[in-house]
Amino acid sequence: MKYRQVIDLIEEIAPTEWFEDEDNSGIQIRTDKESIDRVLVCLELNDDVIREAIEQKADMIITHHPLLFHPVKSITPDTPVGRYIIAAVQAGIDVYSSHLPFDAAVMGNNMYLAKLLKLQNVAAPDEWEEIQEGDGGSGPVRISFNGGRTVLTHDADEDAYEYDPDEVGSMGYLPVAMDFPEFRTYVERCLDLPANYVRCVDGGRAEIRKVAFCTGAGGDYIFTAAREGCDAYITGDLKLHEAQFAKAAGLTVIDAGHYGTEKIFTENMAAQLRAKAGQSLVVLEAKANTNPYTL
């Protein structure tokens, strides 16, 4: 497949123009290849991923977390980023990253998490920080999952929410109400995490049904989750004071970690890319471990 065709397919899945001023998604390393036959999809780069890409004869690595978050003043093997750049260039491997665009895509990290959790009546608030009861546009777009397809339906009876790809936080309803221990175990199982992997705040509610969620580092949205009357909130990288607020507000929180909530990128992006590319592109899922924590 032509190089530009691969980029176009990725950006059909997660358009970069949504976050051009906020995020360094897009092409990270461009070699002189005009044809891409094999791509390796992973959460982020490390030495093991690059070695795997070389062994698998991948022409391109597609990551969620950008290799280049900030401007690089020098490229040397003395820094991790410099080492990765040098190794990829020497091996002739292109690198593309889809970060915030994929978080907010119609079937990006957040909506895929909702699908794994089997959440119902999922909606993304149009303005998490400013939403007031009765505000909003012409009404919400509700997202459901039917036979593996994502279905967007307009609900004219409520006007608080509408689907907005600029927002990455979302909320929905569990298929059945659960108590705190059931909910904690359910999230770990849906995310394929080890038992007792997640950090929790027990909000003390008898049952949990309405759930807000934001993959990655979403502690800032915890206040809106409480204000909107959610029973629980799922995210990663929760700070102490945010956890203290949740406890005082009676909001149950599952902090499954940045890695724990976003490792799903690999299987999700790979599946969507395969569906679009068909037999024209070999799409591999990285097996190298990118979790920096020792469990």
> Residue 178: what residue type?
M
The pLDDT score that the predictor gives to residue 154 is: 40
- Of the candidates 148, 152, 103, the residue with the CA atom closest to the CA atom of residue 123: 152
94-144 pLDDT per residue, tens: 999 999 999 989 899 999 999 999 999 887 654 333 333 333 333 344 555
> Is residue 283 predicted with pLDDT exceeding 70?
yes
Beta bridge partners of 213: 170, 234
48-95 pLDDT per residue, tens: 999 999 999 999 999 999 999 888 999 999 999 999 999 999 999 999
Rounded mean pLDDT of 244-248? 97
- Tell how strand 232-236 and strand 208-217 pair up: parallel
Phi, psi (degrees; rounded to nearest 5) at 222: -65, -35
Please tell me what DSSP assigns to residue 69: S
> Is residue 150 predicted with pLDDT exceeding 70?
no
203-242 pLDDT per residue, tens: 999 999 999 999 999 998 999 899 889 999 999 999 999 9
Return the percentage of the chain with pLDDT > 90, whole number.
Answer: 75
Distance CA 66, CA 4 (A): 19
Fold of 109-259: 3.40.1390
The pLDDT score that the predictor gives to residue 145 is: 56
> Is residue 4 predicted with pLDDT exceeding 60?
yes
> Residue 228: what residue type?
E
The pLDDT score that the predictor gives to residue 19 is: 74
The pLDDT score that the predictor gives to residue 144 is: 55
248-259 pLDDT per residue, tens: 999 999 999 999
User: What's the N-to-C CA distance of the chain in angstroms?
Assistant: 40
The pLDDT score that the predictor gives to residue 17 is: 81
List the domain boundaries for the chain: 3-101, 109-259
- Of the candidates 269, 243, 257, 106, the residue with the CA atom closest to the CA atom of residue 188: 257
Distance CA 29, CA 42 (A): 15
> Is residue 159 predicted with pLDDT exceeding 60?
no
The pLDDT score that the predictor gives to residue 37 is: 98
Sign of CA dihedral 287, 235, 294, 179: negative
- Residue 29 contacts residue 84 (beta carbons within 8 Å): no
CATH number, span 3-101: 3.40.1390.30
The pLDDT score that the predictor gives to residue 224 is: 87
Where does the pLDDT of residue 243 fall: very low under 50, low under 70, confident under 90, or very high at 90 and above?
very high
3 state DSSP class of 238: coil
> Is residue 27 predicted with pLDDT exceeding 80?
yes
The pLDDT score that the predictor gives to residue 142 is: 52
Domains 3-101 and 109-259 share a fold: yes
- Residue 252 contacts residue 201 (beta carbons within 8 Å): yes
Q: What is the number of helices (H) and of strands (E) in the chain?
A: 10, 13
The pLDDT score that the predictor gives to residue 104 is: 85
Q: Position of tokens 């909506």?
A: 111
